[in-house]
Structure 1
C-alpha cells in the first residue's frame, strides 16, 4: 500500500499547575475533532490526556504533553507525556489500584485500555508515556516510526522538515534542515520536500539531485535521504550537510556519513552507500538542533520501546535549545515483520 507522511510539528503543552490540565484536555479534544473523531473517540483522547497531565503534576511536579496528528489512511492522534520526575516501575504503575501518592491509581490503567497503542519508558531521568488513538471503526495499522519535531521558540515556521514515503516493501525517508530558522529556512525546506514527494522512490542520489534543483534560489540546507528495501533488507543512504544518521541493532551502532555542502547552493555529488542486512534495526535521523553525543545503551531497554518514545527521550535530554530540532526514528521492518 502506498503511504505518504508529511512532516507535522509537535505541539508542546506545559503542565505546571492545575489550569494546564484543562487546557491540555481541550486542545487534545479539538485536535481529535478536527481529524474527524466522533464524540466517543474524542472523549477517549480527552480522558487519557487528563489522566497523564494529572499524573505529571502529582508525581513529577511539572512536565509536558506533546500532541501530534498522525497522517495516514485513518488519521490518528499521538499523545506523549514527558517529565523529569523520579520515574516508576511500569510493571506496577500500569496496574489499576497502584499509586505512590495515596490516590485511586486509575490513570495509567485507563490510558492502557483507551489507546490503541500504548508504551512507556521510565528511569531515574524521568518518564515518557506514549498513547496513540485512531477512530474505533477504522482498521489500525500502527506505523513503527516516531518523530519529535520542534521549531525554535515555538515559531509557527520551522526550517526543519521530514517526510516518509512507502510503496510496497520500499520505504524512503527524508530529513531537511533549511539554513537558519524561521520563514526563509522553511521556504527552502518546503521546496526540497516538494521534490521528494515526486521522486521519493528513485535512487537516493537521483532524489538528492532533484531536491537540489528544486531548492535553487532558496537559502538551501542540509538533506539526508534513506531508502530501505524490506525484501532485500538493505538500506541506501545519501546525505549532504549536518543531518546525523545512525543504524542501531547490530553488534554496535553504525554511523551513516553525510558529506560537506549545501543542497540548493553547492555540493559535490557522492555515491549512495548501501548497508546490507538491516532488517529489524532502528534508523535514527536528526538535525543539528540535537546534540550528537548520546548513546541509547545509556538507557536500559530504550532501544526496544516504540520509536516515538525513543525520539521523545532523545529530544528531552539532548535538545540544544538554539535551533529547530527534528528526531526521526523508524524500525526497518521486513515482510515477515508485517505478518
Structure 2
C-alpha cells in the first residue's frame, strides 16, 4: 500500500514535518542523497511560503509515476509535493517564480529555487481563492557514456511520448498514513488507461482493495475498459471491494472509452461545456452488474477529463480559466480539490482527483 502524507501547515513547527515527509517519500522512491535533499528543500520552501503569504495551508506528499505514460511496467518513481492554500492569491504568477522577487521582505529565492531543482514545477493562483504549487523530484539523470540513442522514429529508437498527460492528488481521510483511494496511469501500445479506485470504506483494508486494483490494471492494460473491469472483479474478490472507473484513450483512433462501476465521478470537457460520464451501480469484487456500457467520445485538443472519488461534494463546479487547459494535470486536480473544500468544509472521506489532459504543443 502506498504511503501518503497530508501535512497541515499553520505554524512554523509544521515546516519541519513537511520536510520529514518529503524525505520519507524520497526513501520510498529510492532517490539518492542529492535528490532527497532537493525534495526536502522544495517541501521546506513551499511550506514556508504557505505561512508567509497565505496564513497557512496544506502540503501533500506522494510517490507517483511520471505524467507521461510509457509502455511497460518500468518507470521512475517521483516524489510529488503539492502545496494548497485558500489565501489571497498572487498578483503576478510569473514574477513570483523569478529569483529575487518577494512581497514579504525576504530573499525571494523560494519558488525560483523550487523550479530550478525540481523535474516538474507548476503554479496556479487565483485572486481571492488561493494558490496551488506543485513539484516533482525524481532520480538523477543517468550518465550517457555511449553513443546517442536512435531517434524516436527509428525502428530501434525509443517510443514516442504520448500527446496526453495524466496526474492526480490523493488526500487520506483525517490525515491517515494510507488512503482507501488509488489511481494509476498505464500505457500498452497505443492504449493509455487512467484508473481511479475507491476501496469500500477507508483505512488499511480499503487501501488493500484499491492497491490490488492498481496492480491488476498494470498487468492487464492491453484490455478494453469493460473487459478490464471483469479482470478487476476477479482480482478484488479477496478484498472488501472497490468502486472503479477506467478511461482509455486509443492513440491510433483518437477515441476515448469510459466504463465504471460504483460512485466514481467523471466529467469530460467538450469545448466550452462539460459532460458527465456515468458508471453502473455496484462494487467491483462484490457485486458486478451483468452488463457494462462503454461510453465513447472523440479525444481532441480541447478535451479534459476529471475523475474523482466521493470525497468531493456531490455538486461541484469544474475548474475554469485560461491557464488550466495547459496546466500540469496534477495542478488541475489540486485546484479542483481546493475549490471544493475549505477549512469550514473539509473533505469528508479519502479524496482523490485524477486528470487527463492533452500535452501542450510547447511541451516534449
What TM-score, normalized to structure 1? Answer: 0.87
Structure 2 unmatched ranges of 5 or more: 67-74, 144-160
Tell me what 2:173 maps to: 152
Distance in 1 (CA, whole Å) between partners of 2:95 and 2:180 is 42
Conserved in 2, the CA contact under 8 Å of 1:244 and 1:292?
A: no
1:77 partnered with 2:79: yes
Which one is further off, 30-39 or 175-184? 30-39
2:304 equivalent among 279, 282, 289: 282
2:76 aligned counterpart, secondary structure: coil
2:98 aligned counterpart, secondary structure: coil
Distance in 1 (CA, whole Å) between partners of 2:99 and 2:209 is 49
1:112 equivalent among 111, 115, 134: 115
State the Cα distance separating 1:238 from its structure 2 match. 0.9
State the Cα distance separating 1:292 from its structure 2 match. 4.0
Conserved in 1, the CA contact under 8 Å of 2:46 and 2:110?
A: yes
State the Cα distance separating 1:15 from its structure 2 match. 1.6
1:14 equivalent among 2, 8, 18: 8
2:139 aligned counterpart, secondary structure: coil
Paired residues in the alignment total 332
State the Cα distance separating 1:306 from its structure 2 match. 0.8
1:24 equivalent among 15, 18, 21: 18
State the Cα distance separating 1:122 from its structure 2 match. 0.6
After superposition, the C-alpha distances for 1:277-301 in whole angstroms (9 at most, x for unaligned) are: 3456222111111124333354553
Conserved in 2, the CA contact under 8 Å of 1:67 and 1:78?
A: yes
Distance in 2 (CA, whole Å) between partners of 1:156 and 1:28 is 14
State the Cα distance separating 1:162 from its structure 2 match. 1.9
Distance in 1 (CA, whole Å) between partners of 2:356 and 2:76 is 19
Tell me what 1:4 maps to: none
Distance in 2 (CA, whole Å) between partners of 1:338 and 1:96 is 23
Tell me what 2:326 maps to: 304
State the Cα distance separating 1:154 from its structure 2 match. 2.8
Change (3 A) 1:74 1:261: closer
Tell me what 1:134 maps to: 138
Distance in 1 (CA, whole Å) between partners of 2:197 and 2:303 is 22
1:25 aligned counterpart, secondary structure: helix
1:99 equivalent among 78, 99, 102: 102
Tell me what 1:47 maps to: 41
Distance in 2 (CA, whole Å) between partners of 1:22 and 1:77 is 17
1:262 aligned counterpart, secondary structure: coil
2:273 aligned counterpart, secondary structure: coil
Once the two structures are superposed, the pairs formed by residues 1-339 of structure 1 within 5 Å of their partners are 8=2, 10-71=4-65, 73-88=75-90, 89-123=92-126, 124-138=128-142, 144-216=165-237, 218-266=239-287, 267-279=289-301, 281-299=303-321, 301-319=323-341, 321-332=347-358
Alpha-carbon RMSD: 2.9
After superposition, the C-alpha distances for 1:309-339 in whole angstroms (9 at most, x for unaligned) are: 11112222325622211111122559x9986
1:296 aligned counterpart, secondary structure: coil
Conserved in 2, the CA contact under 8 Å of 1:117 and 1:142?
A: no
Change (3 A) 1:314 1:183: same
